[in-house]
């Protein structure tokens, strides 16, 4: 169903998580303000974060086809609780500059380096879902920038401290995150967040996304303002 309607089953999702039911998958689509003309009633700005705070519930928001494969695999093999699979309405660019198995393996860990810096690391851009493509474009002309795709915060937090430090080295404090939803949870990883802390409006999805800054151009401008 549309992601925005997950509130109709929130109680059962919570009990499934509380009971640590495994191989339970909630498949949710139309994940952001990109829903478009249906308007703010159908545009879930707060819903992804609302699911992320349920203990034992993994929330996957894949950024391309290979991450989607990993999300599906995780949902049917994980043994500690249910999984919410959250998919975009829009067509998404595929990160074909990176090996497909590396993308799958990275997504299974919840977060991974989707684009490595080519010079000394001075910036980390975090993104998830449909915003990963924007992060990759914004980083294209920044040789010191690393892109971290974070399809599942919960899975990433279960990784070893060594792995998390490898992906998000503490030595790099200049970090920015981007997601087409409320920003609060991202401040755990970044000092600046480009997100949507208000309800959407009715217009074609690409117009809503542009008006709310969900573009590589706006992300580049926000990065420039950090200097």
Stated pTM of the model: 0.96
pLDDT, tens digit (0-9, with 9 covering 90-100), for 56-110: 999 999 999 999 999 999 999 999 999 999 999 889 999 999 999 999 999 999 9
DSSP secondary structure, the chain, as one string: -BGGGGGGGHHHHHHHHHTT--S-EEEEB--SGGG-TT-GGG--SSHHHHHHTSTT-EEE--SSHHHHHHHHHHHHH--SS-EEEE--SS-----TTS-HHHHHHHHHTT-EEEE--SSS--EEEEE-GGGHHHHHHHHTT-TTEEEEE-S-HHHHHTS-HHHHHHHS-TT---EEEE-SS--GGGGGT-SEEE---S---SS-HHHHHHHTT-SHHHHHHHHHTT-
């Amino acid at each position: 169903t549309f992601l925005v309607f997950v509130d109709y089953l929130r109680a059962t999702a919570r009990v499934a998580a509380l009971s640590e039911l495994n191989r339970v998958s909630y498949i949710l689509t139309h994940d952001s303000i990109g829903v478009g003309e249906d308007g703010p009633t159908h545009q879930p700005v707060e819903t992804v974060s609302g699911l992320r705070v349920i203990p034992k519930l993994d929330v996957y928001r894949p950024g391309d086809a290979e991450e989607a494969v990993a999300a599906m695999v995780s949902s049917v093999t994980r043994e500690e609780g249910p999984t919410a699979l959250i998919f975009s309405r829009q067509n998404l660019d595929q990160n074909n500059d990176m090996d497909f198995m590396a993308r799958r393996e990275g997504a299974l860990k919840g977060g991974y380096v989707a684009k490595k810096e080519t010079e000394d690391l001075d910036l980390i851009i975090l993104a998830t879902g449909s915003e990963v493509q924007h992060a990759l474009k914004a980083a294209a002309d920044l040789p010191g920038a690393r892109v971290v795709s974070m399809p599942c915060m919960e899975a990433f937090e279960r990784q070893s401290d060594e792995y998390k430090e490898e992906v998000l080295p503490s030595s790099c404090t200049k970090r920015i995150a981007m997601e087409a939803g409320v920003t609060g949870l991202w401040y755990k990883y970044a000092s600046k967040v480009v997100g949507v802390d208000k309800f959407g409006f009715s217009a074609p999805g690409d117009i809503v996304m542009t008006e709310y800054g969900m573009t590589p151009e706006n992300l580049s401008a926000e990065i420039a303002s950090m200097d």
